[in-house]
Amino acid sequence: MNGRERFERMILGRPIDRRPFGAILSLYGAVLTGCPTERYYNDAAAFALGQDAVMREVGPDFLTGPFLLAGFGEAFGSSLHYADRYVPTLSRPAISSAADIPSLSVPDVDAHPRILFYRDSIRRMAAAHGKEALILAVVLNPLDLPLMILGPEAWLLTVLTDGDGTRRMLDLTIPFFTLLCRSLFSDGADVIAMPMSFFTRAVTTDRLVRQLALPVLQEALPGVRGPVLFHHTGSSFIDHIGLLDALAGATAYSLDVHDDIADARRRIRGESLLLAGFDGPSLHALTPAEIRGRCLELLREHGDDGRFIPAATGTDVDPRTPLESLLAIRRAVEEFGSG
């Protein structure tokens, strides 16, 4: 049984040989292939070779496309900073205030080089591994995308003080988001993995969620026309997970390592998938024995939850993480079996 079959049977409530497992190993492919970061995040063939290595060496049940959040800002005119063995980050936003929104050009999803990098990476991954694993495409949602166009401080200020500017920005990002998601599905993606900054404790308030963030997703997600994984990137959105579970396409959630998995399950539908257990950026701090023990503990604790998936979530697994640590998760799910 391969990863795709496990997910398909899990969703249908049918028996599986073991739980699916995985981690955000977008960057880790560069580690395994020794590819320089700047080439890895600009050459879809190099990125796909990295994911070939992930599949060969780790054997996860899902693969993640480029987890390059700042790249979406670059497509709108922002600049990136490259550092060896790290994901490129935002160095200069495309604009500095909402007053500059009219100067923005929305990237053509069929022609812009940065967008074609995302799409071609997914195409290559799907062609090589789509029959054996799920392919996740990472896309910034319409509220988070401006963080990489204006910069975090300027966008938050706009959201809090400039309703007209906020709407003008969303009028650009919502149609871009929906079109890009549909394009990635046509390229072979199975799920859109969507970071959720505007639903996390670190960024938002309950008022902002209900008056802005939730209505934006209610407007945008029907246009995606496919399954969505709501993904945490370092801060919890569990307070609002029940609201997300009612949205179009809501299929899966990746939780913060500090979230209560049982509490999350109580807040959402029984058929929704939960990916949780480990924090990718700090996984290197645990020994393989600790990881295996923790994974077995989680599987025993949540053995009755037929849609719980042990995974390293957050942003990318730290490149210092030994391969043996990732294999420890695989060995634990194999040892636990069907439960």
pLDDT above 90 for 98: yes
Query: pLDDT at position 203, please?
Result: 82
Query: pLDDT at position 109, please?
Result: 98
pLDDT above 90 for 235: no
Q: Where are the alpha helices (DSSP H) in the chain?
A: 3-12, 28-33, 37-40, 44-57, 69-75, 113-129, 152-161, 163-187, 206-208, 214-220, 241-244, 261-267, 288-301, 323-336
In whole numbers, what is the pLDDT of the chain averaged over residues? 96
Q: Which of 285, 295, 273, 339 is nearest to 317 (CA)?
A: 285
What residues does each domain of the chain span?
A: 3-336
Asked if residues 63 and 23 have their Cβ atoms less than 8 Å apart, the reply is no
Query: pLDDT at position 96, please?
Result: 96
- pLDDT grade for 205, boundaries at 50, 70 and 90: confident
Query: What is the tens place of the pLDDT at every residue in 116-150?
Result: 999 999 999 999 999 999 999 999 999 999 999 99
- pLDDT grade for 234, boundaries at 50, 70 and 90: confident
Query: pLDDT at position 204, please?
Result: 80
- CATH number at 3-336: 3.20.20.210
Query: What is the tens place of the pLDDT at every residue in 246-263?
Result: 999 999 999 999 999 999
Asked if residues 259 and 296 have their Cβ atoms less than 8 Å apart, the reply is no
Q: CA-to-CA distance for 192 and 189, rounded, in angstroms?
A: 7
Asked if residues 93 and 150 have their Cβ atoms less than 8 Å apart, the reply is yes
Q: CA-to-CA distance for 169 and 70, rounded, in angstroms?
A: 17
pLDDT above 70 for 339: no
